[in-house]
Amino acid sequence: MFVDQELTRLEELIKKLKFEYEQYFIGESKLPPEKLQKEVETMIRNLYSQPLGRAGPKFRFQMLIARFNTYRAYWDKIMRDILEGITPRDRIRAKLKTLIPPEEAEAKGRGDPLRSVYADYIQAKKDQGDDVSHLTFEKLSGTLKAQADKIKERFKCDDVEFRVAVEGGKVKLKAIPK
């Protein structure tokens, strides 16, 4: 009976630890739950030293250890990624910083703003791992010119500027009426 209660308590602590790590990873908690993790590890060591008796509790204990080890490997990987700054959220931010706004591209002497947008669009698509073999300058410039005409008419403006943006892992073209 005592062993069953301890196994139930261990299972609850593992669930709580999983929840605490999830809260830490999404930013709700400032520190990882190291104290709770040490408590779970201590409890596992203590249960290892006790005779578990029947096959049922032994199996349950092994299952809980396997679950904890799986979670711990996952948590360690995420913690390494956070320390190295390579979480998916950080990778997207880094890619956004590397994109050159059209104003800077024109200042560098690329000439035609549509060529600049095309080059930035192709580069962003490649960075996201998308296939760019079907994209041509003519196709993109034709689409952008048609969109620019519609936007000029709708917003009664003289010019439209296009920018490349990455949102949610997808490359998009943003139109800015001027």
Considering the domain architecture, whether residues 66 and 115 belong to the same structural domain is answered as no
Structural domain for 78, as ranges: 2-86
pTM for the full predicted model: 0.50
Domain boundary among 86, 102, 137: 86
Structure tokens at 94: 């880094």
Alpha-carbon distances of 106 from 13, 114, 141, rounded to whole Å = 58, 10, 16
Number of domains in the chain: 2
Give one DSSP letter per residue of 57-91, joined into a string: HHHHHHHHHHHHHHHHHHHHHHHHHHHHT-SHHHH
Considering the domain architecture, whether residues 43 and 100 belong to the same structural domain is answered as no
**Per-residue pLDDT tens digits of the chain, which is 178 residues long:** 588 899 999 999 999 999 999 888 877 888 889 999 999 999 999 998 888 788 888 999 999 999 999 999 999 988 888 777 776 555 555 655 565 555 554 444 456 788 888 888 988 888 888 888 888 888 888 999 999 899 888 888 888 898 988 887 888 899 888 8
Domain boundary among 86, 117, 136: 86
Considering the domain architecture, whether residues 17 and 76 belong to the same structural domain is answered as yes
Q: What span, in angstroms and rounded, lies between the C-alpha atoms of 121 and 63?
A: 49
